Amino acid sequence: MVAELGHFCLWLALALAVLQSTLPVYGYVSGKPWLQAVARPAALLQWLFLSIALLTLAWAFYSHDFTISYVAGHSNSQLPLGYRISAIWGGHEGSLLLWVWILSLWGLMVSLLRGRVPTDVHALVLAVMGMIGIGFLLFMLLTSNPFDRNLPWFPLDGADLNPLLQDPGLIIHPPMLYTGYVGFSVAFAFAIAGLIAGRLDPAWARWARPWTTVAWAFLSLGIALGSWWAYYELGWGGWWFWDPVENASLMPWLCGTALIHSLAVTEKRGLFRAWTVLLALMAFSLCLLGTFLVRSGILTSVHSFANDPARGAFVLTFLAIVVGGSLTLFALRAPVLRHRAGFEWLSRDSFLLGNNLLLLTATFVVLMGTLFPLIGEALDIKISVRSPYFNAFFVPLTLVLMLLLVPGMFSNWKKQDGKALLKRLLWLAPVSVVAGAALVAFSDGEMPFVGVLAVIMVVYVILAQLSDWLQKALAFRVGLLRGAGRLTRAYHGMLLGHIGLAVIVAGVTQVSFREVERDLRMVPGDVIEVAGYQFAFSEVVERAGPNFDAIRAIVPVTENGRDIVTLTPEKRTYRVSGQVMTEAALHSNFFRDLYVALGEPIDQAEQAWAVRIYYKPGIGWLWIGSLLLGIGGFLAASDRRYRSKSSEQADAIA
């Protein structure tokens, strides 16, 4: 009965989504507030029933209910409990249920945290989210039901979870990524509601901005967690492979970054209205495109779940409806978006516009690099787009973005005096050049010109953030710490975000130009030196895991005779599936990672193995910077001006 209960809850959630998406719109058109008020309880109940459905699926995994096809295909009686629960989103049907549940969670939060949003606009936002829910609930119920039964014949044990996904990273990464992915539906809903209501003024931007920023922060952390998981789990030592599904998460992040900056201009100056709305539509459309790439089966990737053409056709049709419908509404309501206010070419407005254009260019580059091979395959033309294509565009775009970031932050809205801006930059530029060049000179190894330039840009951005913070904090004349306490959370969030970007670029620069990699044939007793560290291949032992058997290498690491760590890379064979996986061993500190992966046996008689050893300087900065991005986003979204007021006050303000 557990599966039937979960299935029934999905149908109830669909019925509530229909009510949530139709009655408030009719109430808005007919001027009946009581119909608009249906949106809030409908959103709450939809989340409640989807939560019950998710819990019933969790119980099925916990209790080894192999009569359910999805459980039998993604679990096993030997699978540890933590992975049995995270297996809920380890396959297509379960991850789709998680997607829809997170959508309902966003709807619940929007319904509860109305803040200053007027009743009619709030009802329209929830109605649009209900329409999105209808699409994905129909997709799940018609093509991807996680509660389908195997009856009357069912296996006595399951097929096991993909060994790649049997990792703590799976428990955190997909929910975090989906929360960001789906969160852009709120920005999309605000854009559609604003177009319908004709409310696209600075107040509208203030309503939409915190939701968009929180979604962007979750997506930043989700992408970073995925990169970290791939780095230590896949055994190839890379942190980004330009995989099409990786690109599918990067595109809405780039577009969302442009959107939160564009919302800032709309909120402060009432400008970029059409541009801001278009970015909101694009960000969510790119999320749907990513969903299509994962669900359609047109990609072969560790990330892709489905290979059913019917599922791909459904998502593609839904994508066409959402994109086509929203762009049509955008075209019809274009007169509402006109605004006569202008700005000088030297102003914060102008620099933020340049920021947007660079980010959209980067999004277009990734989109083309992702879709061209698929288009070529459809035309029976082999097209390969690899890292050199992306790097050729991204390196200069990133450097130009960092170059514009500082004068944009230092400039005033509408008009900036050139001499005053030059005065602030006059000391910063030479100090950054000297400090950056000195850091490169005192570091180990050689670095090409583009690497030196990247280090200078990192110093330039970080010094600019710190100097601006000091200047603003001291301007209150109450001491540094008390003055800093008077600065807004939005300002501190912006600073953390910019510093996070600089730290990420610093990490990418270090690991790209100073990494050391060695592929070796080693037998017990061998010692090899890599980047000043001595790696000893001591012995190979066997051990039994909960659902796998492993061969483990013992690799003590020393530096100048001083013990550093003993690394234990493994080769695991999973008992049920028979799949063999590489489990790398790492030792990390703030400055570098030591990374050892055990390859294939070369000579059984000599106990010779293929071993890969990496020295990766600064790679941890990638995830430290990403963490700063996420914290900065949450901090900015919690700023005082976004905190809730009562519904009566909101309607009075409107």
pTM above 0.95, yes or no: no
Dump pLDDT digits (tens) for 340-379: 666 778 889 899 999 999 999 999 999 999 888 877 777 7
Q: What is the pLDDT of residue 649?
A: 46
Q: What is the pLDDT of residue 130?
A: 96
Structure letter (DSSP) for residue 589: -
Report CA-CA distances (Å) from 537 to 150, 209, 541, 557. 49, 54, 12, 9
As a whole number, mean pLDDT of residues 569-573 equals 93
The residue to which tokens 């195997």 are assigned: 150
Domains, in order of start, for the chain: 1-166 (1.20.120), 185-224+244-416 (no CATH), 516-620 (no CATH)
* pLDDT tier for residue 648 given thresholds of 50, 70 and 90: very low
Dump pLDDT digits (tens) for 220-246: 999 999 999 888 887 777 888 888 888
Give dist(CA 493, CA 132) in Å, integer.
30
Q: What is the pLDDT of residue 340?
A: 66
Give the β-pairing of 608-617 and 516-522.
antiparallel
With a cut of 60, say whether residue 645 has pLDDT above it.
no
Question: Which percentage of the chain shows pLDDT scores above 90?
Answer: 61
As a whole number, mean pLDDT of residues 537-551 equals 92
With a cut of 90, say whether residue 263 has pLDDT above it.
yes
* pLDDT tier for residue 308 given thresholds of 50, 70 and 90: low
Pairwise pLDDT comparison (401 vs 165), residue with the higher score: 401
Pairwise pLDDT comparison (303 vs 66), residue with the higher score: 66
Average pLDDT, the chain: 89
Q: What is the pLDDT of residue 138?
A: 95
Q: What is the pLDDT of residue 607?
A: 86
Dump pLDDT digits (tens) for 442-460: 876 678 889 999 999 999 9
Dump pLDDT digits (tens) for 459-504: 999 999 999 999 999 988 888 889 998 999 999 999 999 999 999 9
Dihedral, CA atoms, 220, 222, 227, 232, nearest 10 degrees? Answer: 140
Q: What is the pLDDT of residue 456?
A: 94
Q: What is the pLDDT of residue 385?
A: 83
Pairwise pLDDT comparison (168 vs 530), residue with the higher score: 530
Give dist(CA 513, CA 345) in Å, integer.
37
Task: Reduce the secondary structure of 133-146 to three states and give it as a string.
Answer: HHHHHHHHHHHCCC
With a cut of 50, say whether residue 647 has pLDDT above it.
no
With a cut of 60, say whether residue 304 has pLDDT above it.
no
Give dist(CA 408, CA 148) in Å, integer.
55
Q: What is the pLDDT of residue 154?
A: 80
